[in-house]
Amino acid sequence: MKRMVLALATLLVGATTLAAQAPAIKPEIRPFAGAIIPTGDQRNLFRDAPMVGVQAAIELKPSLHVVGTFAWVPAQDKYPVAQDNVNIFKYDVGLELGFVQPLGGSWELRPFIGAGVGARTYAYQASTLSDKTCTTGYAALGTEFQLARTALRIEARDNVFCFRSPIAGAGTKTRNDIGLAFGVAYHLR
């Protein structure tokens, strides 16, 4: 876990340093809302849940972005010992690669693919379940419809992560879920 935090911090510091040194780099802020849909064995433990969050991005080139994401998922678990609410906190950094296609007028279509790494924390409200944090990776696909400095944004993420059960002795498993998000991107320069 310490290595993951160090890697995330290094990427963020490096991206911030690049932004400070190069006037062509454009920062963005991207609030979003959506849903998390558990798949496979994860579906046996959690229900579909809403998700809200924010991304900070740095446009290194129109086709390349460094992205940091924080999201909150107010979920419900299905554990037999305590079916209760759980707050899932997701945080990661990644890269997006895409292209810009003019649509007419001032509109641009900006489809992208992305990938990244991070962690997620499960904060259970039931006193019988212990909070857990584990690493995650994702692959993303989406697009922006941009007009001037503002864009409408759609993104789908396939999240693969280690999952540590909050029940003692249950162990760690590799799990998967799908994240769907709709948001707005504000290009600050």
The pairing of strands 172-187 and 132-147 is unpaired
Residue 20's φ and ψ, nearest 5 degrees, are: -70, -30
Structure tokens at 24: 């062509």
pLDDT of residue 24: 75
pLDDT of residue 2: 58
User: What dihedral do alpha carbons 73, 78, 80, 82 form, nearest 10°?
Assistant: 30
Structure tokens at 12: 């963020």
pLDDT of residue 9: 55
pLDDT of residue 1: 52
User: Region 86-102: what's the mean pLDDT?
Assistant: 96
User: Region 88-117: what's the mean pLDDT?
Assistant: 95
DSSP string, 43-54: GGTB--EEEEEE
Which tens digits make up the pLDDT trace of 5-48? 555 556 555 555 554 555 578 999 999 999 999 999 899 889 99
pLDDT of residue 129: 81
Asked if pLDDT for residue 56 goes beyond 70, the answer is yes
Q: What percent of the chain has pLDDT over 70?
A: 84
pLDDT of residue 142: 98
pLDDT of residue 104: 86
User: Region 171-178: what's the mean pLDDT?
Assistant: 89
pLDDT of residue 122: 93
- Can you tell me the distance from the alpha carbon of 116 to that of 140, in angstroms, rounded to the nearest whole number? 9
Least confident of 43-52, 67-76, 170-179: 170-179
Asked if pLDDT for residue 167 goes beyond 80, the answer is no
pLDDT of residue 6: 57
